[in-house]
Chains A and B, each alone.
Chain A
C-alpha cells in the first residue's frame, strides 16, 4: 500500500533522508522510530506529498504522492496540524469531510471525545483537544493508507488507550498504517513492524520482538544502541 524505495531528501545540501526503502502492506501497522532529527518528519512529508524527493520513489495506494488520487487514498496527521482557528470543532469536521467528499464520521468523533466539544472554537481548545481533532480529520476520510506523525502527542492515558483501539480497528479493516512515534512502548505493543531511522538512514527494521531479542532488552535500548548512544 505504501512503498518507499531509495528515497533521498536533501535540505540545505544535507541529506535528511538518505536512501530509505520499506513498505507498509494493507492490514499492517509499521512504526517509524528514531531520535530527534532522524528524518521521520521529512520522510512523512515526502509520503504525504508535501515535499518532493530528490531521488527515489514513493507510491501510495498505487499513486504518486501529492496527486489528487493519492490524497484521496491517504489520511495524514501532521506533527503540527494547522487548524482553522476561528471555526468550531463541528465546522472543522464538516469542512474537511467535505473536502474529502465524505460525511462526518459521528462515531469516530464520539470515540475521540469531540462530540462534547462540537460548538467550541478551535482556537480555544487545549493541546490535547486539538490533537484529538487533528486525529479525527486524518481518520474520518476512511482512507486505506494512514500516515500519522506522533499521534499520541498531548493525549492523556485514556485517550492513548482509545487511540490504540481505533488503530487496531483500522488495521483489522485492511488499512496500511505508518506511525511515527517516540513512544517506544506504544510501538512495541501496537506495531507489526518497526523501521528505525538514524541520521536519515534506515538502520534496522523488523518485528519489535525480533529487534529486541537480537540486540537489547527493550525497544528503547535498541534505539539507543543503534544510535550509538547506549549509555544515555
Chain B
C-alpha cells in the first residue's frame, strides 16, 4: 500500500512541470547568489555549503510540500482518500518521501553546479548524504505540519514565511551567526535551521557527521515530533477547522517533548563559528629579527651540533596526550634525507611575533581532544599511512605536504579540528625525522614559496577538504606552522608566552 502511494505521489510530482521548474531552478539561483557573494573565499562555495543546501531544503519544505497538500485537499482528493481503509499517516509519509525524492534531485543539481563553479570534491560523501537526508526529512516533516495546520494555499505562503524567514535570519541559514546580536544567539539554538547548517557544513568542510552527532539527533527529534503533530492535526476535508478532540493529549505530549528538545538544544549550544579566515599570514621577514637579516642558514652543519636537541618522540607523545590530541605516530618509511642539512639560526627567528596559538590564525590546541575529535584524528592518522604525499621521497617536500594537513583546515576555519591537526602533524614529523626535523622545518619556514603545494588537492583522501585557487594563502599558513612547530620542537616556543 505504501509503495503504491509513494509511486502515485512520485508520478504526480514528476508530471507537475511547475513544481519541477521551481523546485530545481530556484536552488541554482540561490547558489549563484552565494557564488556572487563568496566566490573569492579560500574554497569557493564550500564554506557556505551548509547554508545553500539548507535554503534549498527549507524552500521545498516550507512552501512546496504544504502547497501540494493543501491544493490536493481543496481539490477533494484527500476526501476521496478518506474513503479508503488506509491510515492517514501513510498518506502524510508518502507525500513527505515523494517530496524528498524531488528535493534530492534539486540537491544533486545544486551540488553539480557548485562543483562547476569551483567547489572542491566532498571529502565525506557518505556523511554529507546522511546530513542532507536527515535535514531534508526534518524540514519536510515540518512542511507536512504546515500543510495539516493551514486551510488554503494563501495561508501556506503566510505560515511558510513565518517559518522560512526566521530560520534564514536568526537560524544562521542565510545570515552568518557571527553577524547576529547577542540576544538573538540563544534563539538560533532553538531553530533546526542552525542544526542543519552545522550538520551539513561539518560533513562538507569538517570531520564528518560524527562530529555533528548532536545536531543530527536534534534534527531527527524535530522530524519525529513534526511528523507526529502533522498526522494528529491532519484533515481530509477542505474548509473544516482543525478538530483536536481525543488527540488533544497526544498533542500536549508532543508539544512538551518539543519544549524539552528546545531546552536540550539551549543547554548544548555550540559557540558561534568564526567567519572564513581571510587574515594574511605575513611574510618571512615579519618573523626574522632585523630588516634584511639573513633568514636562511649561514652555513651547512650537522644538525645536532648547532642547536638544542629536539624533544624525543616519547616526550612529544606525552605532551600531546596531556594537552592535545590522542595521537600515536605510525612508523613511516624514512625518506631520502640530505646528507648535510643547513642548520637554522634560531636566534634570528622572532618566535614571539608569531600569531598566538589561541588565536584565529594558525591556532594550536592547548586542551585535550574530546572523544569525537579524538576519533576523527585517529581516522586521519590511519588514512595518513596510505596517503601518497606523506611518502614523498624528498624529505623537505614531505614536510611541506604534512604541513598542508594543518594549513588548509586552518584556512577553512575547521574548528576545533584545525587546532588539533598541528599536534598530529608535529608528532608524525617527530617520528619520521627526529633530530633532523628542525632543519627541515626551517627550510620550509624560511622559503615558503619553494616546492609544491599540489598535495592540497589530495587532502580529501584524509577526509579533509581540498584547497583550490591561488597558492598564496596556503603557503602563508604553511610557513606559520613551520615556524610554530620549529619553536615547539626546539623548545624556543611551546604554547603562548605567559
Q: Are B84 and A50 in contact (CB under 8 A)?
A: no
**Shortest distance between the CB of A88 and any CB in chain B (Å):** 9
Complex CA gap A152/B403 in Å reads 81
Give the distance in Å from the alpha carbon of A149 to the alpha carbon of B338 in the complex. Answer: 95
Q: Is B87 in contact with A68, judged by CB distance below 8 angstroms?
A: yes
Which residues in B have their C-beta under 8 angstroms from that of A137?
80
What is the size, in residues, of chain A's interface with B at 8 Å between Cβ atoms?
A: 28
- Determine whether B89 belongs to the interface, using a CB cutoff of 8 Å to chain A: no
Q: A96 — nearest CB in chain B belongs to which residue? A: B84
Of A49, A69, A84, chain B has the most CB atoms within 10 Å of the CB of A84
Q: Which single residue of chain B is at the shortest CB-CB distance from A95?
A: B8
Q: How far is the CB of A90 from chain B (nearest CB, A)?
A: 11
User: Does B82 reach chain A (CB closer than 8 Å)?
Assistant: yes
Residues of B within 8 A of A121 (CB): 15
B82 touching A86, Cβ below 8 Å = no
**Residues B77-121 near A (CB distance < 8 A):** 77-87
Q: Select which of B4, B75, B76, B87 is within 8 A of A95 by beta carbon.
A: B4
Interface residues of A in 86-100 (CB under 8 A from B): 86-87, 91, 94-96, 98-100
A84 partner, pick from B8, B79, B84, B236, beta carbons under 8 A: B8
Q: Does A74 contact B (CB under 8 A)?
A: yes
Q: Cα distance A74–B8 when bound, in Å?
A: 23
In this complex, what residue of B is CB-closest to A141? B84
How far apart sit A85 and B84, CA to CA, in the bound complex (Å)? 18
Q: Is A231 an interface residue (CB 8 A)?
A: no
Given contacts A50-B236, A82-B77, A87-B12, is CB(A71)–CB(B5) below 8 Å?
A: no
Please report the C-alpha to C-alpha distance between residue A78 and residue B81 in the assembled complex, in whole angstroms. 11
Are B78 and A82 touching (Cβ within 8 A)?
yes
Within 8 A of B (CB), among A193-221: none
Nearest CB in chain A to that of B238: its residue: A82
Report if A80 contacts B (CB, 8 A).
yes
Q: Which residue of B lies closest to A52 (CB)?
A: B243
Chain B residues whose C-beta falls within 8 Å of the C-beta of A86 in the assembled complex: 11-12, 15-16
In this assembly, does B1 line the interface, its C-beta being within 8 Å of a C-beta of chain A?
yes
**Is B415's beta carbon under 8 Å from chain A?**
no
A83 in contact (CB, < 8 A): yes
In the complex the two chains form, what is the Cα distance from A69 to B87 in whole Å? 11
A97 to B15, CA, bound (A): 22
Query: By the criterion CB–CB under 8 Å, are B75 and A85 in contact?
Result: yes
Interface 0/1 of B53-77, CB less than 8 Å to A: 0000000000000000000100111
Q: Give the nearest-CB partner of B82 in chain A.
A: A50
Q: Does B357 contact A (CB under 8 A)?
A: no
Are B1 and A101 neighbours in the complex by a CB distance under 8 Å?
Answer: yes
Residues on A with C-beta less than 8 A from B392 are none
Question: In chain B, residues 4-62, which have Cβ atoms closer than 8 Å to a Cβ of chain A?
Answer: 4-5, 8, 11-12, 15-16
Closest Cβ of chain B to A30, distance in Å, is: 19
A92 — nearest CB in chain B belongs to which residue? B8
Contact of A49 among B5, B15, B72, B82 (CB under 8 A): B82
Residue ID in chain A nearest B75 by CB atoms: A82
Chain A residue with the shortest CB-CB distance to B12:
A86
B237 within 8 A of A: yes
A37 at the interface (CB under 8 A from B): no
> Which residue in chain B gives the minimum CB-CB distance to A138?
B83
Q: How far is the CB of A117 from chain B (nearest CB, A)?
A: 17
Q: With A68-B85, A71-B85, A99-B85 as given contacts, are A83 and B80 in contact (CB-CB < 8 Å)? A: yes
On chain B, the residues within 8 Å of A71 by CB distance are 83-85
Q: How far is the CA of A101 from the CA of B236 in the complex (A)?
A: 20
A120–chain B nearest beta-carbon distance, Å: 13
Contact in complex: A83, B85 (CB < 8 Å): no
Name B77's contact: one of A74, A84, A94 (CB within 8 Å): A84
Q: Does the CB pair B76–A50 fall under 8 Å?
A: no
Residue of A nearest to B80 (CB): A82
| Measured CA separation A86–B77 after assembly (Å) | 12
Give, as a whole number of angstroms, the nearest-CB distance from B484 to chain A.
Answer: 62
Most interface-central of A76, A80, A86 (chain B CB within 10 A) = A86
- Smallest Cβ distance from B234 to chain A, in angstroms? 14
Q: Pick from A71, A78, A95, A121 the residue with the most CB of B within 10 Å.
A: A95
Asked if A56 is at the interface of the complex by the 8 Å CB criterion, the answer is no
Does A58 lie at the interface of the complex (its beta carbon under 8 Å from any beta carbon of B)?
no
8 Å CB contact of A98 from B1, B72, B77: B1
Chain A minimum-CB-distance residue to B245: A52
Q: Across the interface, which residues of A come within 8 angstroms of B79, CB to CB?
A: 50, 78, 82
Tell me which residues across on chain B come within 8 A of A95, comparing CB atoms. 4-5, 8
Would A80 and B76 be within 8 Å (CB), given that A71-B84, A99-B5 are in contact? Answer: yes
Contact B83 A48 (CB under 8 A): yes
The interface residues of chain B lying within 8 Å CB-to-CB of A72 are: 85
The verdict on A230 contacting chain B, using a C-beta distance below 8 Å, is no
A86 to B18, CA, bound (A): 13
30 contacts between A and B (CB under 8 A): A49-B82, A50-B83, A50-B236, A50-B237, A71-B83, A74-B83, A78-B79, A78-B80, A80-B76, A82-B75, A82-B78, A83-B80, A84-B8, A84-B12, A85-B12, A85-B75, A86-B11, A87-B11, A91-B8, A95-B5, A95-B8, A98-B1, A98-B5, A99-B5, A99-B84, A99-B86, A100-B84, A100-B85, A101-B1, A121-B15
Binding site for A on B (CB under 8 A): 1, 3-5, 8, 11-12, 15-16, 72, 75-87, 236-237
6 cross-chain pairs, A with B, having the tightest CB-CB distances, nearest first: A82-B76, A98-B4, A99-B84, A82-B77, A86-B12, A86-B15
